[in-house]
Structure 1
Amino acid sequence: MNSNHQMQGSKLVVKPAVAAVALAVASIAHAQEAKKDEPVQLEKVVVTANKRAQNLQDVPAAITVLNDAVLQRNNVKDFDDLPALSPALSVTYSTQPGNYSINMRGIGTFSLGVGVEADVSVIIDDIPYAMQANAFKDLADVHRIEVLKGPQSTLMGKSSIAGAVNIATKPIDGQWKTKLSSYLTNDHEYRVSGSVSGGLTDTLRMRLAASKSDHDGVVKNLTDGKRLNGSDNTNFIGKFEWNPDDQWSVVFSPRASKFTKNCCVSPLRMMTSTGGLYNLNNGFTYASTSDRIPVSQVLNGIVPGPDNVSVRNDYPAGGKAKDVGAGLKVNYAFGDGGLLANHTLTSITSWSHYQMDDYQDGDGTDSDVLNKTLVGGKPTNLHGGLYQLGNFDVKSKTQEFRLTSPDKGSVRYVAGLFYGKNELGRHLARYPAGTYITDYTAFSSNTNYAVFANGAIDLTPNTSIIGGLRYNKEDLAYTFDSPLLAPTVASRTRNHYEDTASETKVTGKIGLEHRLDAATMGYVTYSTGHKGKGIDLTSTFNDNNFRNGYVPGEDAKSIEAGVKLSLLENRMALDLAVFRTDFEGFQQSAGMTDPDGIFRTQLHSIGNVRTSGFEADLNWRVARDLSLNGSFAYTKAIVTEFRNGPCYNRLNDAGTGSTQVGSGNCIASNPEFGKTNTADLAGKPMPNAPKYKFNIGGQYDIRLDKSFDAFITGAYRWQSKINFRIDQDPTTIQPAFGILNLGAGIKDKKGDWKLSFSVNNVFNKSYAASLGNVGWGNTMWGSTATAPVHVQAWTPARDYQRYYAVRADFAF
């Protein structure tokens, strides 16, 4: 790896800081020149974070808005692209796409079970996803994304305890328009999309959109020559709006998508020795050392190292999913008279069905690892390797009624009722032998009934009290079945568990908003959040889990203060916020590798975690032809209480194997916690939570002649180091890094066509989307019983290396 890959935080910050100062100086010069020529102002940014359309600068909350121009300029494809544009967001990846996690301000949930909700909700056109995994597909036909930071339980529900991502799809055009777009890269990614939109009659309008994307991936499978860690998406979205008169509006929005992620494969990044022999482990033994497979065979063509992206898999990896659903939104606007004069009554009904079949190569090799192996001292009489398969089946239906007051008046409010039922099924099987084998079916359901209200009361023309309240009742149920398995490979009796639970919770918000002048608004708010009880419906579920019952729900208490500024005669919008949120009973799955070599996770209820920090969001129309946007976040997300945290592995003092440590305080066989190895993690940072993160981007238009213009785009992002594991394993740290993207193109003045070219990751900075440390061991890779080997795997990011792209857009 070249020296660029080794640059640490302080070295990387200098270049963007100098560039930012230089850009600011040049921008001010452009702004002064533009001021002489013509008035230049920002366009109003409208958001629906409070379930009503409002100017962003009038909303007393920290929100990052990614509008259509920003999304198009950065070629945003799916949710994985959003953390580059919003510092508050990060994504934690796992062994299969159903277990990805969205983190907000360093807080998220990583759990392998359908019995645990996410901490960050994803909402599209007022309809929440029942399972966060459904968000990891193409963001098809998206118009605007609002990143709502901090607890949003009052308006967005109990799965929004850490925040919410509110997505709005593109509106129906006033006149008939057809749009086509294509995108192609030099590393085998392509996208095509099209839409038709307009009025069918005087009262009926429609929009139909379709898209297809495909990327082979950045990981090379030497077994079959194919690539992994890519995706294939097909999407259809419809929107039909009927306005029979000025009072009624009915919008029906069907959707269907099919997507495949051949993902979650982690090449070997580091191996302390490659001269030994490979042992399958997982409860297997070999009759003699000569039966073990030479590592040279297992790693044929693979050279473990920081730039290795090659694997050998003889079983597919990833998941195939499909999602169908529809929403029906009905608005009725009351007239000028009566008790509800100028109010709007809204009904939102939704139904969705998400299914995914997932699969994984269990041993990560293409060798005949089962040949000559013993289980219980007896030959398996099997050939090939280990494999995993399963499926998710998620059904959801919701109904919401809400009443919205007029935008003007001394009292403004939104009040409503919500009903939602989610049914989540999970089947997982691991075959064919040894302690690796697993077979279970789990089903979880949650039904929610809520009453909510949110609003503001003007005390003076410039000062308002803001507040909200939500009462939520939740009914939960689960079943778990582990069937009888063939006694020749594993001895296990059938287990059946089931239970129900119910709880009620009140969350709310109170605050003060004051407008110093027409361009400056300040606010302070205190809000609470709650996420429901969870149950660890995974392969480790047993009698002890059943006796302990549901893991208690999470509670959050948050204080936030901010100021929203409209500067330079409304050419700049600068939003600043400070915050602190404390979570009690935080639900967190922590993973570890058992002595038999199997990676397992267990759900914990951590005592407390806390996130605090400072954020800034900038939109700047520097000149008529120059626009900038950027964000900065300082986030300190730490564990404040977790006495039974997991330990991590390191080389033992004798140098003969591994031992578990935990930031120097691992207690072996801790009698207080069932004689398991535990570490007190109080004060330690949360996983995948960079302390510093920022991005800046923009576009400069160059006016050429009466027919077309040129443009230049740029985007830079940087983040400080992170640790991917909550056990604080020092070998799973990703150092600080920065990524620069540049682009240029030409466009028709009438907006009929645009052609652009971009270079992504200009300086070719390699970085990991995740790191996994198998730890020090002498049973899987060691040549002898006293020859420990340290193995580490990584997931290369989509843009871990430089690539080029060309894009063409047409409208007619």
Structure 2
Amino acid sequence: MKDTRFQNHSLSPLAAAIALAIAAPACLAQAQQKPAADGAKAEADTTRLEAVVVTSNKRKENLMEVPAAITVLDSATLERSNAKTLEDVSALSPALTISYGTQPGNFSINMRGIGTYSLGVGVEADVSVILDDVPIALQAGAFKDLADVSRIEVLKGPQSTLFGKSSIAGVINIATKPIQDKFVTKANALITNDGEHRIGGSISGALTDTFRMRIAASSTDYDGTVKNLTDGGHLNGTKGKTVLGKLEWTPTESVTVALSPHYNRQTLNCCVQPYSSMTPGGQYGFSGLIPSQPALPASQLFNGITVGPDNVSVRNDYPAGGEAHDYGSGFKVDYQPEAGSWLAGHILSSITSYSKYHMKDYQDGDGTDADVLRYASPAVPFTGGLYQYGTFDVKSVTQEFRITSPDKQRLRYVAGFWYGKNNLGRVLTKLPVSPFSADYAASAYNTTYAVFAQGRFDIVDSTSVIAGLRLNREDTGYTFTKYANPPLPKTVVGYWSEDNKENSTTGRLGLEHRFNRDVMAYGTYSTGHKGVAYDLTSSFTAVTALNQPIPSERAKNFELGLKAMLLDNRAAISIAVFKTNFFGFQQSASVRDDDGVFRTQLHSIGELQTKGVEVDGSFRVSRGFQLNGSFAYMKAIVAEFPNGPCYNVLNATGTGQVSAPVCGPNPIYGTGVFQDLAGKTLPNAPKLKANLGGIYDIALPAQSFDLFATGNYRWQSATQFSLSQDPGTIQSAYGILDAGFGIKDKQEAYKFSFFVRNLLDKRYAAGLSNSPRNGTWSTPTLNVSTTSWTPPRDWTRYFGARLDLTF
């Protein structure tokens, strides 16, 4: 039975959403150009947008002067949107989406539709996450509380020239809040009606004339969207604690030394997909065990659960998710040569980092709380259920030396040397019986050496040429130890290892023209590179070893952009048109076999293409009213993949699964069934996304406080969640409206806000799965099909309140 709950939304809101995002600011701009009364004119003359400073080129620059497509989210935007994780950030930036895996280590960030979903430590991410100049080695480590954040820069398109590995599709550059000159203490607390609690605080200021410090801490706790009826708890939630430090010493006017230690502990009891539909009458069985003896009816196993489109209940008797902690520190030294030196005005920087990440993950393998093994087969002497557990371990060391030229000169550049070493480990055990069981230990390493430079040269005062180059050397390798599948004794049945070396060159070339001080246009061509990959999962075999490594990825990107400040700096708009081709793209694809177990394989796709247009804008309507909007049209497709994965459908008699009609054998690629995916959409890459938000400050001159109201509406078109193009995994278009209001002290001593998320109570899924004739539930006389879904944080309307205090 096919679940259509998430495919019945009308596309009619699209026109309204786009019209609102584009026409409203334009109409308001026209209204502001009309003659105004003296009082209104005086207000308009003092109402301008604040300049936004970014560090996307590894130097501080005005966003509107940077020739690149960048979306910036400041702390105020993140706060009023209750954005505390990268999943929340994706709702604010149309270029971003998040793909969820079966456990936290498999989450993926997609930029402009591009993002590698892989189950192994041998695959780098396509989107790099940078925290205060230091890259996060394993992308899983980025899915934690965004504590004490000042600004998030979303850099779209290949960024390999300046940021190197893991940035072939883009970069998320996160900057934490700076140290204040005077001592300031802040505290905040948040609570929601669905079980979220959050507290945080910071203390910042100068201890002496040469020493300053900042310490920030936060604690978050959210029960989760899924109810576990077995123990009365919740799943798909998170809780964590974070401590960030900044210590800054300026022994002389020309030297600044900064130490930034961090610690985070996070629990994600996640990745559970409740059933949203199921053919009635199914019984639990193991088609992979012989003789099969299904004996547990679904009605018994789902006691208290009403399987349907709004189901958020499960019965699990084994934990789900993972517990992670990471710690480390950055160490930065800046030196500015004295006046008179040939390097006067330059900044010489050394940035060193060390970090260590560890995660224990676990998963209920059968999704029930019953003693399923007792009924599986008389030949299986086990009781209990299926489960798995494992660990991720990452140790990372980086070193960067950088020289940054002065801002006010004809040639402005940054150049440097980069070294990075990452050691990653993965151990996984699936228990207790075949075909579910597996046991392995894998490790991977990558060591990178690079020199890079990028700059702008003013040919004339209004026109500049942009050029950049990176020479990269990467040493990589892996080991894989395969143990006998449980319940056999733990003995080594296979061991494989390999080492590789690869040199690569990436670059950027472009032209920028400034029509006047408020309007500029640019065109750039850039290339990207990501190193070889290793398919290190429980499906690893000797055949897999023969096909290692998966070739590296390459990208070519063309981009045209326009940035303008309008209406005497009251409005800003950025437009980018882009086209990027990826070659040898590394992508894992998974299917659920008849036995109910997910099988995965890492593919090297011949070619992908993403192209489209992006618009970001801000408009200060009046002194107290500001609008921010963004829009993206994106077409992310497979250009060449003749041996793509297939999905299954019911056969003509409804008695079993067969490959979809679009699939078939291809002897060129060996045994198996494939489909040609040329022209098909990439997973989790909606064509259209729009976001419109605003804040309205209501001044009360006669009071010691003011009022404010906030609102945000986001909309996106239909989304296909499967690379195989399964029609049962399509989420239809939807729109989400958030709103809030509050009161704040004129001296910023306090601010109290109330908010509601998903005000219109619209249902949508963050992930979908489809299994026609699910062998786990089918019986000899009945074929059972199932669908399941991942309910997002705001799958239903919820309310909250937040209090901010400044001392």
Q: TM-score, normalised by structure 2?
A: 0.97
Q: Which of 197, 202, 210 is the matching residue for 1:190?
A: 197
- Look up the SS of the partner of 2:240 in the other structure: strand
1:108 to 2:107 alignment? no
CA 1:372/1:18 → structure 2, altered by over 3 Å: closer, same or farther? Answer: closer
2:332 maps to which residue? 329
1:364 to 2:370 alignment? no
Letter in 2 for 1:561: L
2:655 maps to which residue? 656
1:728 maps to which residue? 725
1:382 to 2:385 alignment? no
Q: Deviations over 1:364-405 (max 9, x none)?
A: 00111000323xxx6222111000100000000000000000
1:799 maps to which residue? 794
2:496 maps to which residue? 497
Letter in 2 for 1:652: N
Q: Which of 277, 288, 296 is the matching residue for 2:283?
A: 277
**Residue 41 of structure 1, CA deviation:** 0.8
1:697 maps to which residue? 693
Letter in 1 for 2:382: L
Letter in 2 for 1:422: N
Q: Which of 758, 762, 765 is the matching residue for 1:761?
A: 758
- Look up the SS of the partner of 1:575 in the other structure: strand
1:318 maps to which residue? 321
- Look up the SS of the partner of 1:371 in the other structure: helix
1:164 maps to which residue? 171
1:225 maps to which residue? 232
**Residue 18 of structure 1, CA deviation:** 5.0
1:739 to 2:746 alignment? no
1:535 to 2:534 alignment? yes
Contact 1:5 1:765 (8 Å CA) reproduced: no
CA 1:348/1:386 → structure 2, altered by over 3 Å: closer, same or farther? Answer: same
Contact 1:432 1:489 (8 Å CA) reproduced: no
1:10 to 2:12 alignment? yes
Contact 1:209 1:238 (8 Å CA) reproduced: yes
Contact 2:21 2:691 (8 Å CA) reproduced: no
2:95 maps to which residue? 88
1:789 maps to which residue? 784
Name structure 2 gaps, 5 residues minimum: none
CA–CA distance in structure 1, aligned partners of residues 90 and 491 of structure 2: 44
Aligned length: 799
Letter in 1 for 2:220: S
CA–CA distance in structure 2, aligned partners of residues 710 and 762 of structure 1: 21
**Residue 229 of structure 1, CA deviation:** 0.3
Q: Which of 664, 667, 676 is the matching residue for 2:664?
A: 667
Contact 2:595 2:776 (8 Å CA) reproduced: no
Contact 1:565 1:575 (8 Å CA) reproduced: yes
Q: Deviations over 1:1-47 (max 9, x none)?
A: 99998322224543673587467646764786644434211111000
1:348 maps to which residue? 351
Q: Deviations over 1:55-78 (max 9, x none)?
A: 001100000000122112212111
Letter in 1 for 2:297: P
- Give the percent of matched residue pairs that are identical in Structure 1 and Structure 2: 54
CA 1:29/1:702 → structure 2, altered by over 3 Å: closer, same or farther? Answer: farther
CA 1:114/1:269 → structure 2, altered by over 3 Å: closer, same or farther? Answer: same
Letter in 2 for 1:640: A
- Look up the SS of the partner of 1:337 in the other structure: coil
**Residue 780 of structure 1, CA deviation:** 2.1
2:509 maps to which residue? 510
Q: CA RMSD in A?
A: 1.8
CA–CA distance in structure 1, aligned partners of residues 789 and 558 of structure 2: 37
Contact 2:21 2:629 (8 Å CA) reproduced: no
Contact 2:450 2:473 (8 Å CA) reproduced: yes
- Look up the SS of the partner of 1:192 in the other structure: strand
Letter in 2 for 1:711: F
Letter in 2 for 1:754: K
Contact 1:209 1:237 (8 Å CA) reproduced: yes
Map of 1:54-65 to 2, 5 A cutoff? 54-65=61-72
- Look up the SS of the partner of 1:687 in the other structure: coil
Contact 1:5 1:766 (8 Å CA) reproduced: no
1:684 to 2:686 alignment? no
CA–CA distance in structure 2, aligned partners of residues 593 and 296 of structure 1: 23
1:126 to 2:133 alignment? yes
1:209 maps to which residue? 216
Contact 1:708 1:747 (8 Å CA) reproduced: yes
- Look up the SS of the partner of 1:296 in the other structure: helix
Map of 1:236-635 to 2, 5 A cutoff? 236-271=243-278, 273-283=279-289, 285-287=291-293, 292-374=295-377, 379-485=379-485, 494-635=493-634
CA–CA distance in structure 2, aligned partners of residues 364 and 295 of structure 1: 12
CA 1:533/1:85 → structure 2, altered by over 3 Å: closer, same or farther? Answer: same
**Residue 525 of structure 1, CA deviation:** 0.2
1:717 to 2:723 alignment? no
- Look up the SS of the partner of 1:618 in the other structure: strand
Contact 2:152 2:174 (8 Å CA) reproduced: yes
Contact 1:433 1:490 (8 Å CA) reproduced: no
Contact 2:287 2:594 (8 Å CA) reproduced: no
Q: TM-score, normalised by structure 1?
A: 0.96
Letter in 1 for 2:659: Q
Contact 2:17 2:690 (8 Å CA) reproduced: no
**Residue 672 of structure 1, CA deviation:** 1.9
**Residue 781 of structure 1, CA deviation:** 1.5
Contact 1:485 1:493 (8 Å CA) reproduced: no
Name structure 1 gaps, 5 residues minimum: none
CA 1:379/1:31 → structure 2, altered by over 3 Å: closer, same or farther? Answer: farther
Contact 2:288 2:595 (8 Å CA) reproduced: yes
**Residue 199 of structure 1, CA deviation:** 0.5
CA–CA distance in structure 1, aligned partners of residues 41 and 659 of structure 2: 64
CA 1:386/1:177 → structure 2, altered by over 3 Å: closer, same or farther? Answer: same
Q: Deviations over 1:418-458 (max 9, x none)?
A: 00000000000000112111000000000000000000111
